[in-house]
Every structure is written in C-alpha cells, then in structure tokens.
Amino acid sequence: IGVLPGTRDEYVVIGAHYDHLGLGKRKALAPENVGQIHNGADDNASGTAGMLSLAAQLSGSSEVVGPAAVDSLRGSVPNSGRLTPANQEPGLVFIAFAGEELGLLGSSAFVSRPSIPLGKIRAMVNLDMIGRSDGAVYIGGVGTATEFREWLDGLKGQTPLTLSYADTPQAPSDHLAFAGEKIPVLFFFSGLHPDYHQPSDDREKIDQFRALEILDLVEAVTRRLVQPRQPVHFVETDSSSALLGASFGSPVFGVVSEPSWEADGVLVTGVKASSPAFAAGLRRGDIIVGCDGEAVMDRLDLVEHLKQPDAGIATSHPLLVVRGEEILTLVLSGN
C-alpha cells in the first residue's frame, strides 16, 4: 500500500492484483499445461505496472516506471503534471492486491479490516488486464456513481480509444469488494484473448502503447476524482454487492461469501434479494459443502462448478448445505 496524501481526510483507491496462477494447478484453462509457469503478463502484471506508473506520474516521482522511450509517448489525454494541494483534495491510496485469482481474497480482506475508514473512500479504480487492447477499453461500474458517465463521455474526443461501458461492476475482480460496501467503482479492462489463463500470456504479447493510452484515460479520471469539492454520489446497481459470480459475462447467482473462512466449504454472509440464491433458499450463515454431487472445499471450487461449459440461465445445481445441525439439499437455478 502506498499513499499520496491530500488536503482532506478522504481517499481515492487505485488498485490492481499482482497474483496469477503459478503453475496453473487451479483455474488454468488448458489441463495439458498444468505444471508450466503461468506468468500472467496481461493478467495482471499489466494492471500492476499501470498502477505503479500512475503513482509515479501523479506524485512527480523521478522513478519513472517502464522504458523511457515508451513513457515519453504518454499524453493522448492532456493532463497537468504532478498533483499538488491546489488540485488534489482527497488522498490517493495505491494498493497491490494478492489472492484475486483465489476469490478476491486481498481486496475482501482490505474492506473487512480497512486501514482507512470505508466511509472516507470517495471511489475505487481497478486496473485488471489492460495490456491487450485492440483499440478499445471496457469500463465497468459506470453506473455506480451519477457523475461517471458524463466524465467519460467528455473524454471520448481526447483519446484514440473506443470506450465501452457497463453500468454494473459485474466482472469478478477486486472492485467488487468495494462496490459491495457502497463505494463507487470503475473497472478498466482491455478484453479477453486466447492466452487468458494460459502459459502463453507473456510479456512479448503486451501492447504497451495501447496500455499507456488506457493509463492516460485512467489518469484523467483520477484527476477528476481528486478535484476539490468534487461530489461523487453512489448509485446501487443490480450487482453492486460483492457477489460470487462464475466468470466474465456469466450469471451472478447472488451469493456473498466470507473470503477468510478457513474451514471446508463456503460460508454465506449474505444473499442478494431476487437472486437465484435467494430463490433456492440460501440464508446468511449457511455453509455450502457440496455442488453437483461433489465436495466444495472453498469458494474457488464453487465457482468452478458454476462456470461449467453447460452452465447457464437454465442450468440447475443441487447444493449440499450445512445449516446449524441440519444438512439440506437446495437447488440453485438460473430460471
């Protein structure tokens, strides 16, 4: 965690996860590649390097991140040098999260035991996979604050990138932990590709020029967020809670779980109203220990069941649930 103090006891969080899959024993998309090193250049060395570059840029640090020839190309969106008390009210908190691939463990731990009061966080910006843009950038969470869409629309003419919005913060990355605490979030993402969760996600495939264009955009948004007397009003969206989802673009079933739970199974800490989990009868305090007739050891196991190739809106999943001294079978369905 790094902090760039402001003039007010309020903060904007810039985050990126630095973990990946290691040898691919969990979450690798090609079983034949298990045992090979998965470096995760895009997922998410790109976002981590971007966060560090922003920290250097906004603080005026001489420790420029990245090759000087590349950094000299920054500037597709006009910005205005290092932040000073005259143009920065809230402080900036830069966080490199661990355990994202295991179920948002680092960001969930932060919001569970925050080093700054959550009520003093004006917004959170998440960088996850920004290194493989084809000229476009996906921005999630645009609907979590009334101001975000207008700001981004105002930047469209100043960036070569095509901006694609989603109002909800539904992609399963670290911003979800903050959205679940009613904090406005923005999630910057350059898109999936065939090297996702493969050993081939390596640095020679990163388009650093496009990544810098995305960083210019993120920097412009960040400067707007820290302006004096700049209100940011949270808006609840359909998936603002820190929900356990299956994968990018797949159904979110409405389970809020405890990331620090150390026993077997998944401890349910909340159930979103009108969700499939609510319809199935899941309650706060339930422990999910089985799904589809197989044991569920942790959150990752459950996610893997919910994202099987045939899973979808019409798929049902029998859950084995411990509720107090009872053992129940509940059926989770997208219908």
pLDDT in tens, 283-321: 878 899 999 888 888 877 787 777 655 444 447 889 999
Query: CA 10 → CA 6, 94, 121, 287, distances in Å?
Result: 8, 14, 6, 37
Q: Which of 67-76, 129-138, 238-247 has the highest mean pLDDT?
A: 129-138
Quote the percentage of the chain above a pLDDT of 70: 81
What pLDDT does residue 83 have? 72
Encode burial over 30-43: b for 16+ CB neighbours within 10 A, e otherwise: eeebeeeebbbbbb
Report yes or no: 127 and 47 within 8 Å, Cβ to Cβ: yes
pLDDT in tens, 184-214: 999 999 988 888 888 999 999 999 999 999 9
Q: What is the 3-state secondary structure (H, E, C) of 80-146?
A: CCCCCCCCCCEEEEEEEECCCCCCCHHHHHHHHCCCCCHHHEEEEEEECCCCCCCCEEEEECHHHEC
> What is the reported pTM?
0.73
Decide which of 165 and 250 is more confident: 165
Decide which of 237 and 179 is more confident: 179
Q: Span 27-35, mean pLDDT?
A: 77
What pLDDT does residue 81 have? 67
Asked whether the predicted pLDDT for residue 248 surpasses 50, the reply is no
| Domains of the chain: residue spans and CATH | 2-225 (3.40.630.10), 244-333 (2.30.42.10)
